[in-house]
Structure 1
Amino acid sequence: MNKYQLAVAVKEQEYSKRLADYIRDSKFGEQWQVVAFTHADACKRYVKQGYKIDLLAAQPELLKEMKDELPSMPTAALVLKPGDSEEVHELHQYQPLPLLLQRLTEIHARAAAHPVQTAEASEKMPGVKVISVYSASGGTGKTALALHLAQAASTHRYRTFYLNLERWNTSEMWLKPQRYGDGSSGGEALGEGLSELLYGLKAQPEQSVTWLMEHRKRDALLQSDYLAACTNLEDRMTLSGEEAADLVDVIARSGQYDLIVIDLDSGLEELHTAIFEQSNQVLWMLNGDVSVSIKQRMALRYGEQKWGERFKRLSPKFVFVTNRAAQAERVSLSEMNGLAYAQVQLPEVPEWRGAGQAKLLSSPSFRAAADKLFKHLCLEGGSSFVER
């Protein structure tokens, strides 16, 4: 995926080299590419030749020389102590590199969010793909697949956001609480998440993207971002379709992600239909239980009865995925309205059956199957789907 260009202007060449080496070998290398300068004139020539810089981090004296010719470029001053520059954003040059890069990422996110927030359009950013994982029955492995798809996407250099919209958010079983905040963009308190973003969307919608960038969390294993679950469960219970669509819109408009993976619960309400409309593809989970297939068929019929043509227009997005293939009986999908069926099957993982026993990315076979499914969904145009 395309990377953002970080220009670093410092007089010490060794510092720039150390920073560039760290970025290349860390998770920040997925997002940033570094170009370094030791003189202000070299940086100005670089821009005049037509090269793009997404964020400029420079020592105050060099930044002062460049500022007049680069008025619209987001900048951060690399200082030895607070007050060494007149810049809004000052960062200590010799702080730990992970903290420095995290702060630079936040500054860029705010700068990128501002013009989007003031624009009249509220459509998804071009190129942002949304995949929803759904089932009309619980216990089919929706969350396991959604999280593994997010991880698979990250290995293919997709900047990914995992959004859990279940009533009863089970992702904590996988995203262990002790890892909350690892690599997060601020907001270390566990309570700052979906509830607060929903409130902000109502009270200060123009600040919603900035708030998201400051409070999103990052899982070190997934290499993906997410938000903490609703602290007030009533916020999820009363979540409307319009509010759910607004959440997706905020994440997409941030300009920070290539893929949003949405984990839905087993109901079928206006919220689900609104999310289906936002999605590029909706994965309907099946397993070896015949009752699950019956519930899926009932959900499809109900959707058509409730929303008519609006729901029927969504059917090209629907793809059935079979989980626990090792024990699954071949259930005929001929009654599934002729919808697409993924040939990629997800294997049974016995150790995930016990309460509290699930361990993220612990099954190589499941990871491989999720990676293959991701490739078909995002890299191969869904060529592995067949009509039934």
Structure 2
Amino acid sequence: MPLRLVLAVQDEQYIEPFLQFARSGEFERGYTVTAFSRTEAFVRYLEECGNQVDAVLGEAVFIEAVCRDGRERIKFIRLSEEEQGSAGSGALYKYQPLPLLLSTVFEKVREIREGAAPPEGRTPVYGVTAAVGGCGKTTLALHLVRQLASEGKRVFYLNLETIHSEVLCEARPAGKEGNTRGLARLLYDLKAGEERQEELKLPVTAYCYRHSVLHCDTFAPVDNFNELLEVGRKEAVALIGYIAGSGNYDAVIVDTDSFPHERTATMMEQCDKLIWLVADDWGVMRKTGAWLAHLEKTRPSLFNSVMAKTLFAANRVSGEVQALSAGKGIQVAAVLPLIPAWAQGNRQGGIMHSPIYQRDVMKLCRMLGTTKDGAREGRELFDSGRPVYPS
């Protein structure tokens, strides 16, 4: 995802070579640059299109002319003509070599790519999505849950698909566990509490059950599809916030219908990290790129937020990658293997098992920083954008 940079300097002779360099060579795919030499035009642009800007690189007269209230996500970097005083003030020397200048700018706004950290006391939320059905989205979500649970983490699996996966239907709670109130009752209680302006006092465990195969907490499948079809943005925000804010879990994995969908868009907005599945297929890559372009055009603020926390992963890959090398603006960072036995349709025994697949899911968990020891390694892999192929 290119960094959206605004250059604001009074000298038009500085702008021309800057744009020429930034739009060619090694930085061509890393930046989109909009330049201004007049303060009025610069201020007007930020007022109208500020939600599409990652960073402003400009002289003091431009930065001081902008009200930065409500623009916490934009990184303002001052250009200085004094080489000696730049380092101490946090400014960048204006006339340093452009490769060095652009590299330094990228490092300064690196936190934009990392996305916002979860609020204090809130469990990290990891979303799994895809633009095309059949990419293995739910299979990956289930394996992520099982991997994190095997590491001793307390995990909640939130499945908001209209039609649930088989593994949830096969492990329906019975007996004492079947007495939990369930998702439909929780949605009702959340709505009632909002109307009364009261916080829900019951714990999450009053509504969920312990899944015997996944070793996590989850909701029993909803039999009436209308109850899930009526879950819109407002209900999804309240539901995710209630679970993530309960303090009962180390991770929440959210799985929804394929994008575009209102619940899916809400999950993308609310999660802290997002795994977007693609495939080594021209059709899948084309459709994914088209939906991303549509999201950028219609909801630019959501698009910027989503891309800052998205890790693209290709599923069912075997041999050499072909379609993934196409210039779709999608940078694949992880690759999951094709398991031929799964194509036979044998679903007996609940979740499908494969040591090879689970090994690469473990690598993906490290990239997401779900473990303290793997967080640094994962951050480096995430930032590098290098595909992690099955070994």
1:144 alignment counterpart: 139
- Distance of 1:148 and 1:366 partners within structure 2: 9
1:188 to 163, 173, 178: 178
Q: 1:290 to 1:193 in 2, by over 3 A?
A: farther
1:372 to 363, 367, 381: 363
Partner SS state of residue 196, structure 1: helix
Does the 8 A contact of 1:135 with 1:286 survive in 2?
A: yes
Does the 8 A contact of 1:133 with 1:283 survive in 2?
A: yes
- Distance of 2:287 and 2:320 partners within structure 1: 16
- Structure 1 window deviating more from structure 2 (155-164 vs 322-331): it is 322-331
Report matched runs for 1:1-388 at 5 Å. Answer: 126=121, 128-170=123-165, 173-177=166-170, 179-181=171-173, 187-189=177-179, 192-204=181-193, 206=198, 208=200, 210=202, 212-326=204-318, 329-332=321-324, 335-337=327-329, 339-354=330-345, 356-357=347-348, 359-377=350-368, 378-379=370-371, 380-381=374-375, 382=378, 383-385=380-382, 386-387=384-385
TM-score, normalising length: structure 1: 0.60
Which residue identity is paired with 2:385?
A: E
Give the superposition deviation at 1:335. 3.5
Q: 1:333 to 1:233 in 2, by over 3 A?
A: farther
Does the 8 A contact of 2:132 with 2:288 survive in 1?
A: yes
Partner SS state of residue 175, structure 1: helix
Partner SS state of residue 351, structure 1: helix
Q: 1:249 to 1:333 in 2, by over 3 A?
A: farther
Partner SS state of residue 265, structure 1: coil
- Distance of 1:263 and 1:209 partners within structure 2: 26
Q: 1:333 to 1:342 in 2, by over 3 A?
A: same
Partner SS state of residue 168, structure 2: coil
Which residue identity is paired with 1:199?
A: Y
Which residue identity is paired with 1:193?
A: G
Which residue identity is paired with 2:154?
A: R
Does the 8 A contact of 1:165 with 1:265 survive in 2?
A: yes
- Distance of 2:129 and 2:143 partners within structure 1: 14
- Distance of 2:310 and 2:366 partners within structure 1: 17
Give the superposition deviation at 1:232. 2.2
- Cα deviation 1:232-267 (Å, max 9, x = unaligned): 211221221121111111101211011000112113
Which residue identity is paired with 1:387?
A: G
Which residue identity is paired with 1:238?
A: E
Q: CA RMSD in A?
A: 2.7
How many aligned positions are there?
Answer: 259
Q: Which runs of 5+ in 1 are unaligned?
A: 1-122
- Distance of 1:316 and 1:275 partners within structure 2: 15
Does the 8 A contact of 1:193 with 1:228 survive in 2?
A: yes
Q: Percent identity?
A: 28
